[in-house]
Amino acid sequence: PSTLRRVLDDCFCDVESIDIFNNLKIYPRIRKLTERDYFRYYRVNLKRPCPFWPDDGHCSIKDCHVEPCPEVSHVIKNPSCVQYSQAANTMSDVVECQQAKELGAINSTLSNQSKEAFADWARHDDAQDHFCELDDETSPDAEYVDLLLNPERYTGYKGPSAWRVWNSIYEENCFNCYRQTRLNSLCLEKRVFYRLISGLHSSINIHLCAEYLLDEGWGRSVWGPNVQEFRQRFDMAETKGEGTRRLKNLYFLYLIELRALYKVAPYFERAIVNLYTGNAQEDGETKDLLLHIFNEIKAFPMHFDEKSMFAGHKLEAKTLKEEFRLHFKNISRIMDCVGCSKCRLWGKLQTQGLGTALKILFSEKEIKNLPEHSPSKGFQLTRQEIVALMNGFGRLSTSIYQLHHFRQLWKEKR
């Protein structure tokens, strides 16, 4: 991690300044915000079938019999992919697989009061021009999930879908830019796209390393930081230098979403915007906290300058922007192929959060022309997009905060 303390590519920012800003000013506030009622409930359909390959529906454990994987793309080195055989179906293996399935299951506990309120919340939504493949919120399979009861962490699931999902994302949706030599020759837009996906992948991996399943003994699961797992994913020696680039992309993604929040602040600053839950005092306190975060973001001096993106010839820029949007929309569909329910939940939420950030960055003119006292037809955010945007950024903020913790643990183990 010490090798990160340098200026990041494609922007004039340094890691140390971002660490101080995030860990001292943003992380404590974004954590409080995402615990408020408006932001803790997310409506999602976790039963949508994978549109690209048959759902594997399995889990993998350390004692399962596995066969070698066929030769795969160099996009993801040493993938922990597995293939299943009849030898895995012993009684002890079935029990352990069932335990892994339970760890990855969604806690759908909701109070009756919350259920009654959700129908009222739905009246406050409107939408347009999505970067993500949105769930049909009217579907009987869509349900509200309490994010605080379903934290993002390593659940014990090791099925092949995790590898297959990221392999598909990199190979089919990153403009064939996964080789570093090829990446350097790309235009800014395509290079940015790759770095966003890599940064999201890195952030998710940090969450899994920080909340790793350490012990399942005595009927009680224990999660905590796994330094060895972190080193395997990010240490320069372990990853042949790839780890540093992955972490730099995490910071890059953080700056992109930070810039989107800076841009969208005027939307929320209008008196007409109410973070509605039906409790006026709760709603007012939630909006005050959100505006406080926006004020901190405005004071940060090192924002990413998105004006250079899609700034060339109008027709070419429009075509590239649409290609950019469709690639990202396809990635959000791939998240329906994640086998673990909790992983699918957080993958879909963070993908929608990033898609909402991109929608904001590409709607600057519409945001500037927002009327103060009436709804705008040119730019709207649904409640789902707002919840995903702030929780997605909260996950990035948490990743950077957890990086500081891993640095300390790393030093102690030396």
pLDDT tens digits for 358-369?
889 888 888 988
- Structure-token pair, residue 313: 């010839």
Annotated binding residue 233: yes
Annotated binding residue 239: no
Q: Which residue has the higher pLDDT, 321 or 45?
A: 45
Catalytic positions, written as ranges: 340, 343
Q: Tens digits of per-residue pLDDT, 259-301?
A: 999 999 999 999 988 998 889 999 999 999 999 999 999 999 8
Annotated binding residue 29: no
Kindly report the CA angle at 79 between 216 and 180, in degrees rounded to 5?
135
Give the containing element (helix H, strand E) for 42: strand 41-45
Q: Tens digits of per-residue pLDDT, 142-199?
A: 889 999 999 998 876 666 566 677 777 777 666 555 555 455 666 677 788 888 999 9
Q: Give the burial class of 20: count Cβ atoms within 10 A of its Cβ; 0-12 exposed, 13-18 middle, 19 or more buried.
A: exposed
Q: Is the pLDDT of residue 82 over 70?
A: no
- How far is it, in rounded angstroms, from Cα 302 to Cα 125? 33
- Report which DSSP code applies to 177: -
- Structure-token pair, residue 65: 């019999």
Annotated binding residue 303: no
Q: In total, how many domains does the chain have?
A: 1
Closest by CA position to 393, among listed 191, 277, 255 = 255
* Domain span at 298: 2-413
- CB-based contacts of 238, cutoff 8 Å, min separation 6: 231, 232
Annotated binding residue 155: yes
Per 3-state DSSP, the chain is made up of helix, strand and coil in percentages (nearest 5) of 60, 5, 35
Question: Sign of dihedral through CA atoms 326, 328, 333, 334?
Answer: positive
Q: Tens digits of per-residue pLDDT, 195-215?
A: 899 999 999 999 999 999 888
Q: Which residue has the higher pLDDT, 7 or 265?
A: 265
Lowest-pLDDT range of 86-90, 95-99, 213-217, 338-342:
86-90
- Structure-token pair, residue 3: 């090798």
**Position of tokens 């409080």?**
32
